[in-house]
Structure 1
Amino acid sequence: MGSLLRVLLFSGAFLIGSFLLIQGTALAANGETAVEIQNVKIGIDGYFHVGRWAPIEFDVVSTATTDQTLTPQIRVADPDGHGVISRLKEFKSGGTVHVQGLFRSGKLYAPVTIEILDGEKIIAELAIRVDRNDEVRCLKQNAHLWLLDGEQPAFQAAAANMKEIQSGSIHAAPFGEYAAGIFDPRALEPVNLIVLNGDSTLSESSSLAIRDWVYRGGRLVICIGEDGEELRTSPISSWLPVLPQDEIQIRNLSGFNQWVPGSNPMRMLDTVPCAVFSLDEGQTLASDFGNALAIRSACGTGSVTMLGVRLDQRPFDNWSSRAEMAMVLADFEPSWTASATTKTSGMNAGLSPTGISDFQTQLIQALDHYDVIKRPSYWVVIAWSSVLILIIGPLDYLIVHRIIKRPQLTWITLPVWLGCVTLWSYNSAFLINNTEQQARQIEVLDVDLTTKTARGRSWMNFYSTLTRRYKIEADVKTDSTLFEDPQAAEAQADFLKTSWIERPESSYRGMYRTGGLESRKAAYHLSSDDREIEDLPVRVWSTGSAGTEWELEVDPSRFAQTRLHDPGSGRLTGSFTYHGSEELTGWFVAYGNFAYFPRTEGGESHQPLRPGDLFELKHARSNMLKGLLTGLTHSSIFHSDNRKQQTSLVNRELYNSLSRDPFPILRTLSFHEMTGGQSYTKLTNDSLDSLDLSDSLKLHRAVLFGRLKTPVTKFALNDDELTYEQQESVIRIIMPVEFELADLSAPPDPTLLKVN
């Protein structure tokens, strides 16, 4: 009994001592690194798009007694369920530190996790759920986010109307909360439209961030009214392509009725203050007695729309057609008043029978296709599986029961059959997949002669012969013949981010399928300098991929010198000289509704555009751009009984969404809306919408499109150069066109409708 009591006392003392030791250690640790994450803000007003960069802000409150270096990091999921870790700027412990950064989620419902590291140890963690959180919502890429300054009844009504048709299609967020805190142009990537007033308050940094966002394809609308002077003194005026010329009082508002199809007339006894613009400074949207009341101008690959009136004032604030006007300003057709068009039908796109519903997916399919690896189709696999069933079933029964007549031998024959099939399968897989490491690359290079900017967007896919981790590094070939200026060669390109490639689908490996972060899959890191994926895990006989985007200031004269002119007829005149040092093949010039290329003998393809070549439009052939892109042909059938009677037929090639040829994909992608958009291709263009230059062609910009021999972006795999099976690169030089108002009293231009 005494020994039992001693055992119980010893056990109790041991448990109490262990508990006190653990608590003491925990308290000591907490005393050294007590860290709390507070005031988290994700996206824009809680909204962000899957597959796009979005801002995140939070406070780190530390009461540590020692001087420690803490590193915040954001953990999200890529489309395959791997964790993706982006490390932010480190800081010293103690007090409250405000942290800002960017993240990119690859799953629609995956959580966003904030982690604070002390060395390599996680000392604080906060996971924000997206699937069950009304304050944080992840949007599909076809949903739109509008950033509105102040009360904007027209745009708020448009968003409300669209929500009645399809929930979640358009969301509006207040601009005022973010006006002073836009810390990076990429923080505006979730935004599709920004609406400001003439008296909107902007800091210098916010103005530059909006400028860069517009240069990359954003749409900016400014409503002025009587605030023209405030706009001229605002920081944003330094880069706007058009400013108001004067301010007048108008009573006749019919110009706005003519601009908005099917709108109800506005009646007002008083006058309305309205800023006016020069008619030759852009595309006039609404006018009155020789004054432009609304005008849209190109700015980089984006656009700036200047509206002479304020939409938050009478009579526009309660106009029954204010929502329709907002949709037109946002470059949409109001789908509640008309059938869905190419720009709104993408919101209601269903599943594609090919498994490809977006251009981005087709681009990935083209990247992930290797001619040297000829894997059997699913039908071949099904056929061999059927043969295996016949062997281990009827054939084995026939041998052991009918021929040998010893059924117990099936315990030997079955493993033998399975071993032979396994050995044969392994050898076949080895012969099919055991090839040298291969890679493929696709690139789009834009050179804007007006903003003096070169912007590259490149995607790379590689085939791995081993199961291992890879470091993928992206860089710009500053020794490329495209950048002969030594100063450009020494300049560092601004990398916007190097990361995984999105797939906007609900199918396998798509961003829209259910599921989030998968703990059994290895995580990998993105570098803080935006150039690298540090440790991408790839399995044997499979592929890995990466995409990158960069910007670089260039000398426009190194690419082209232009003297292009539009006399008001919509046709291009003048000339340009190409100065790039690589020849362009498959090239043409697009402007308005037409494509221009050199004259050739019947049936022959035109020569490459070589450095120093002068292209004069007066000697050029022209064709309808839509006809060139869609393979439109005309044919005539003469009737046998009457040769004077004929029937004209118009044929159009069907777009092949299963094509793996990158060049026609990039050509169609560059002018998607000009082809007819989704009605022609049957594909949405949500991920790569910023690459569509169709709107620029309407805004006094001509585009020289052609194929380069090699991409400007270079990728390295574990610091080694890649061996490419195929590299496809197109260049798009965006050239300004001087515009002249047409003389309405002059006779019509005889070449206006001439296509030759």
Structure 2
Amino acid sequence: MIFVLRKICNLHLALVCVLLVGGELHAQDEKPRITDVEIGFDGAYKLGCWTPVQVILEGGSIPLTGVVQVTVPDGDGVPTTVISPFNRPVGIEPGRTTTVNLFIRVGQSAAPLEAKFITADRKNSVSRTFFAGPESGDGVIAGGLPATNRLIVALGPALGLGDLLANESVDELSRTHLVQLQSTAELPTEWQGYEGVETLILTTSQPEVYRPLIQNAARVEALRKWVELGGKLVVFCGSQAEELMGANGALTELVPGKFTEIVDIQQSQPLETFSGSEQAITSDRRVNFQVPVFTGIRGRSEAVARRGTLEVPLVIRSYLGFGELTFVGLDFDKPPLRAWPGRVGFLQRALELGDSRTSQQGSNETIVQTGEDIVTQVRNVLDQSFVGVTVVPFALVAFLVVGYILLIGPGDFYLVNKILKRPEFTWISFPLMVAGVSAGAYWYANWQKGDQLRVNQVVFVDFDATTNTVRGTAWTHFFTPQVAKFNLSFRPPLPDSTAVQGLPLVAWLGQPGYALGGMQSSSGQTSLFDRGYEFSPALDAMNDVPVQLWSTKTIIARWVSKTPVPLGLSLSRTDDQLLAGSIANQSDMALADCVLLYGQWAWDLGQMPAGTTVDLSTAKQPRMVKTLLTSATAGDVTITNTAADGTVPFRLAQEDVTRLAKTMMFFHALSGDRYTGMLDRYQSFLDMSHFLDQPDLAVLVTKGGDQGGQWLNGDKPLGGDEDRNWVYNRYLLPVGPALENEKLTSEQ
């Protein structure tokens, strides 16, 4: 009997164990899985730029809600985390796939990515780490492209750009990468997702590709806003223009005028001339292209064909906000243009892939390309410009290290053996020497670097007088004398009545290249901080940002708003392509160092006190843009050692913040790649050279005051009384034709 009872007990015990194990396995099955992440555009993205990321989750056995987090290192190797909005929880259903869209900013080329799904009770939270490799795969993501690479994204039928890019640079830091997308679903839903894209190309001969955009206004709005903030869009649209660019078309907001009709063009000569090719499009030179016609064209027409008395531009250099819009009224992915040998030259010119768009006369000094980005030089200068902070030369550090080794080695030996003649005293002398040297080093470092937080800031504020739109960008480099954490947000320099259109976008700013601290460094930066910091869901704040002792951090803020431009304008072009008219300063503050740019010419207007008007007929004679922007007096300090034409060589200008800023603001107009020997691809949206090609726009550049916006640490200002600010304002000014100038004169 006892034996039978023992058997029954053993069976019950085994059954309980089975149930417990089964329950545990069932509980494990209930958890969702992170099956994959998709980053960038078909896996391509640039380091130091916002890029889209999709986290793909597979539901478990029960419905769950939570948030998704993605963690990647910044340019200093500190982990950064973005998180989905708390007010819109992510829902996961059993057996179903859920995709969550976020935006991340990767700071190291071989950085791993950690994705998490976190529930409120954290019982069903899951995470997965993806490692960087040469190609994406199971558990592997592609490494980021250097910030100095050119990333071109194309949507629609392929143009066949392989031949065009065959002769591009093979240098790792300056390569061009082409990504071909197949669906509008691959486009970001927020403008910052395009930040790493240099050029977006849309080909439209298959309109079904773009029809989904009619039902997805967010993607169109994101694309339009990116262009308005400095992006570059190239649209190829011929036969399908009526559907896509007519009333309520998917691309109506992305055209250089108002679509009216499609006409047949049977001329090939304008295309052949534009491409520089001597080869005909067809052997008999007979062609028939369907080309859209626009009214109220905004911009400059090129490769103009004729249909009777009607002029039909085949290429239009236009603009949208602060960005570039190039429209080609042809379908280059279809024959006969698809097989035309001259298409490479045409596309090369239409896409403007060269680094120097405009070549102006100036200094003949040409610098060998280094592959570095000019942003790196700006960071270096800001790093050396803190008030009360002295950078200790490396040679001095090396000398002191050698001296320290000699002191605690031969010095201590000589002291205790030759002078004191008591070797056992080394137990006292050695610690005293170490303590004394350590105390001296700390005192010297504190004396050199100070005990105050310092902030250096460069701000670019751009005003569009035609739309009253304001675009702002602030680069801030700050130094902290102690280990600290910061809760950072940004307050733009706007009047109280002015509303920011969307919260300011804040982030860290990396250093391109392979140099120490560079994002492309193979070893990467090693951080002492494991926990890192978080971005707010709206990306308008960074919380608990750690910075090491006596270290610096570079951060960036971008914003856009609407505010009236405080200028009275009456500008028109003359028959010899100069400007006539006047500019009135209607603000309550003086405008300093005013320079007016139009085409290849620049006028030095000097100071414009509040309430004054400058008449161009009494202004100084104009000079070439490059000559004036690189002149002896163009910087913070006057440089007398100039070239024969009066320009300052870059080797003498590269330590001057204002000269660097002016070079970046009009990099292509100054032939910046040849002038500086550097690239301008990391923050190239700031380059407004393309407006100098527009006959209906001029650019006024002024130096602002000390206030270029304020970073906040929590609710307190970041910085002190000895911070340094370089603020530059640029105004896009409408220019009327010569006839209007004559009317204005007669009316007055």
TM-score by length of 1: 0.81
Residue 547 (structure 1) aligned to one of 528, 553, 556: 556
Match of 2:535 in 1: 526
Residue 189 (structure 1) aligned to one of 181, 191, 195: 195
Match of 1:169 in 2: 175
Match of 2:133 in 1: 131
Residue 413 (structure 1) aligned to one of 414, 429, 436: 429
Matched, 1:88 2:87: no
Give the partner amino acid of 1:174.
Q
Residue 698 (structure 2) aligned to one of 694, 697, 702: 702
Identity of aligned residues (%): 22
Matched, 1:693 2:695: no
Give the partner amino acid of 1:466.
Q
Bigger shift: 131-140 or 700-709?
Answer: 131-140
Name stretches of at least 5 consecutive residues in structure 1 with no aligned partner. 1-11, 340-345, 352-356, 599-605, 634-647, 743-756
Match of 2:517 in 1: 509
Alignment CA distance shift 1:610-1:529 (3 Å): farther
Alignment CA distance shift 1:164-1:717 (3 Å): closer
Query: 1:39, 1:626 → 2: CA distance?
Result: 50
Please report how far the alpha carbon of residue 443 of structure 1 lies from its aligned counterpart in structure 2 after TM superposition: 0.9
Query: 1:632, 1:371 → 2: CA distance?
Result: 25
Please report how far the alpha carbon of residue 692 of structure 1 lies from its aligned counterpart in structure 2 after TM superposition: 0.7
Match of 2:239 in 1: 226
Work out whether residues 31 and 61 of structure 2, in 8 Å CA contact, stay in contact via their aligned partners in 1.
yes
Please report how far the alpha carbon of residue 259 of structure 1 lies from its aligned counterpart in structure 2 after TM superposition: 1.7
Query: 2:323, 2:149 → 1: CA distance?
Result: 19
Work out whether residues 149 and 195 of structure 1, in 8 Å CA contact, stay in contact via their aligned partners in 2.
yes
Match of 1:307 in 2: 328
Work out whether residues 42 and 181 of structure 2, in 8 Å CA contact, stay in contact via their aligned partners in 1.
no
Please report how far the alpha carbon of residue 109 of structure 1 lies from its aligned counterpart in structure 2 after TM superposition: 1.7
Name the count of aligned residue pairs: 681
Please report how far the alpha carbon of residue 362 of structure 1 lies from its aligned counterpart in structure 2 after TM superposition: 2.0
Residue 678 (structure 2) aligned to one of 671, 676, 683: 683
Query: 1:676, 1:403 → 2: CA distance?
Result: 68
Alignment CA distance shift 1:163-1:650 (3 Å): closer
Matched, 1:449 2:465: yes
Query: 2:416, 2:682 → 1: CA distance?
Result: 60
Give the partner amino acid of 1:531.
D
Alignment CA distance shift 1:453-1:263 (3 Å): farther
Alignment CA distance shift 1:691-1:508 (3 Å): same
Match of 1:111 in 2: 112
Work out whether residues 77 and 516 of structure 1, in 8 Å CA contact, stay in contact via their aligned partners in 2.
no
Bigger shift: 221-230 or 279-288?
Answer: 279-288
Work out whether residues 151 and 199 of structure 2, in 8 Å CA contact, stay in contact via their aligned partners in 1.
yes
Match of 1:252 in 2: 267
Please report how far the alpha carbon of residue 471 of structure 1 lies from its aligned counterpart in structure 2 after TM superposition: 0.7
Work out whether residues 298 and 319 of structure 2, in 8 Å CA contact, stay in contact via their aligned partners in 1.
no
Match of 1:642 in 2: none
Query: 2:43, 2:407 → 1: CA distance?
Result: 59
Query: 1:430, 1:142 → 2: CA distance?
Result: 36
Residue 571 (structure 1) aligned to one of 563, 572, 578: 578
Query: 2:652, 2:259 → 1: CA distance?
Result: 45
Match of 2:150 in 1: 144
Match of 1:208 in 2: 221
Matched, 1:422 2:443: no
Alignment CA distance shift 1:249-1:545 (3 Å): closer
Match of 1:282 in 2: 299
Give the partner amino acid of 2:246.
R
Name stretches of at least 5 consecutive residues in structure 2 with no aligned partner. 1-9, 360-365, 634-642, 741-748
Query: 1:698, 1:393 → 2: CA distance?
Result: 68
Give the partner amino acid of 1:133.
E
Work out whether residues 150 and 681 of structure 2, in 8 Å CA contact, stay in contact via their aligned partners in 1.
no
Please report how far the alpha carbon of residue 459 of structure 1 lies from its aligned counterpart in structure 2 after TM superposition: 2.1
Give the partner amino acid of 1:37.
I
Please report how far the alpha carbon of residue 712 of structure 1 lies from its aligned counterpart in structure 2 after TM superposition: 4.2
The correspondence of residues 376-415 of structure 1 with structure 2, limited to 5 A, is 376-415=392-431
Please report how far the alpha carbon of residue 580 of structure 1 lies from its aligned counterpart in structure 2 after TM superposition: 3.4
TM-score by length of 2: 0.82
CA RMSD of the aligned region, Å? 3.5
SS at 2:509 equivalent? coil
Match of 1:319 in 2: 340
Bigger shift: 681-690 or 370-379?
Answer: 370-379
Query: 2:35, 2:408 → 1: CA distance?
Result: 63
Work out whether residues 54 and 104 of structure 1, in 8 Å CA contact, stay in contact via their aligned partners in 2.
yes
Work out whether residues 148 and 373 of structure 2, in 8 Å CA contact, stay in contact via their aligned partners in 1.
no
Match of 2:279 in 1: 264
Alignment CA distance shift 1:26-1:585 (3 Å): farther
Bigger shift: 151-160 or 77-86?
Answer: 151-160
Query: 2:75, 2:231 → 1: CA distance?
Result: 26
Give the partner amino acid of 1:55.
P
SS at 1:153 equivalent? coil
Alignment CA distance shift 1:574-1:241 (3 Å): farther
Work out whether residues 578 and 613 of structure 1, in 8 Å CA contact, stay in contact via their aligned partners in 2.
yes
The correspondence of residues 556-595 of structure 1 with structure 2, limited to 5 A, is 558-567=565-574, 569-595=576-602
SS at 2:333 equivalent? coil
Please report how far the alpha carbon of residue 239 of structure 1 lies from its aligned counterpart in structure 2 after TM superposition: 5.3
Matched, 1:236 2:251: yes
